[in-house]
Amino acid sequence: MAEVPMSGKHGRSSRIAGTLRLRRVSRPLPGVSSPSGLAPEKEQARAASPTAGQTAPDGAEGVRLSKLMAGRGLCSRREADELIERGWVLVDGQRVSELGTRVAPDAHVVLAPEARRRQGGKMTVLLHKPVGYVSGQPEPGYRPAVTLIRADTQFGDSGARRFHPGMLRGLAPAGRLDIDSTGLLVLTQDGRIARQLIGGDGAIEKEYLVRVEGRLRENGLALLNHGLELDGRELRPARVEWINRDQLRFVLREGRKRQIRRMCELVGLRVTGLKRVRIGRVSLGDLPVGQWRFLDEGEHFS
């Protein structure tokens, strides 16, 4: 290692300082941070990494790649981590395979062909849930709705798409429907669809037919449309109208627990029957109670 000779009264000290400067450039001392804030060995690994060009600009923390992918609707965060680990995500044209990678918020992110093929094979089904089945975890005395997804309950002619037990892996409800309610329930393996339907941005409408009894309080219909609160929080505007003397149509953009029943109680009504008939652009149609079908390729919720 060459030393830099320095003149002056403190020549010896200057030589040491000069030596340290050269040594720090060629081989950083243990524990000395690099300008990026990373340990020197990690900084060198990052510089040699093919994903080095995908980090956020200087002075910016950036955003976790998995969070960015979920926010853009490419997949769920859990699936994003799986795809990143497999190297099936491209950022600004380069494959990324390191979990926890941070990128600029405006980075160009696309899925590799392998990931798109995998997503294309994920199953989404529409079930006409009967009363007495829970949409999520089983409860004492009740069965989960997913137990109705069987070969003998498949509706219509789906051509080559016939049920087999392997399809149940990873199949989960995208949203809930109360035990004592019936109608359209979506179950999916696709994180993109789950996020679209469960997300709280209110982009997807849900339509219900609701049978009621009781005496509607004055201005009650206007309040059902907008002006009620649940648990101290104001409800989003809804569209509520009478269909006949004992039945209402509700169109909501949110899904609080037992929301419609509680709304009706606040205006003097009691729900005696509730059926969900539409989620976004997908309708229940003539699907019989207790049967299911695949979501067709041309069907989309938004």
Distance in angstroms (rounded) separating the CA atoms of residues 102 and 132: 46
Task: State the pLDDT at residue 259.
Answer: 96
CA-CA-CA-CA torsion for 271, 275, 280, 281, nearest 10 degrees?
Answer: -140
**Cα 184 to Cα 285: distance, rounded to the nearest angstrom:** 9
Query: Please, which pLDDT band fits residue 234 given cuts at 50, 70 and 90?
Result: very high
pLDDT above 70: residue 40: no
294 - beta bridge partners? 125
Q: Which residue has the higher pLDDT, 218 or 58?
A: 218
Which range has highest mean pLDDT (120-129, 131-140, 175-184)? 175-184
What is the model's pTM?
0.67
Catalytic residue (choose from 92, 106, 157, 178): 178
Q: Is 95 exposed, middle or buried (0-12, 13-18, 19+ CB in 10 A)?
A: middle
Domains of the chain with bracketed CATH = 1-39 (no CATH), 53-120 (3.10.290.10), 122-201+285-302 (3.30.70.580), 205-279 (3.30.70.1560)
In the chain, pLDDT over 90 holds for what percent of residues?
49
At a CB cut-off of 8 Å and minimum separation 6, what does 156 contact? 293
Burial of residue 27, with CB atoms counted within 10 A of its CB: 0-12 exposed, 13-18 middle, 19 or more buried: exposed
- Give dist(CA 291, CA 172) in Å, integer: 16
Mean pLDDT of the chain: 80
Q: Does residue 296 carry a catalytic annotation?
A: no
Tens digit of pLDDT for each residue in 41-67?
444 444 444 444 445 544 457 899 988
CB 293 within 8 A of CB 125: yes
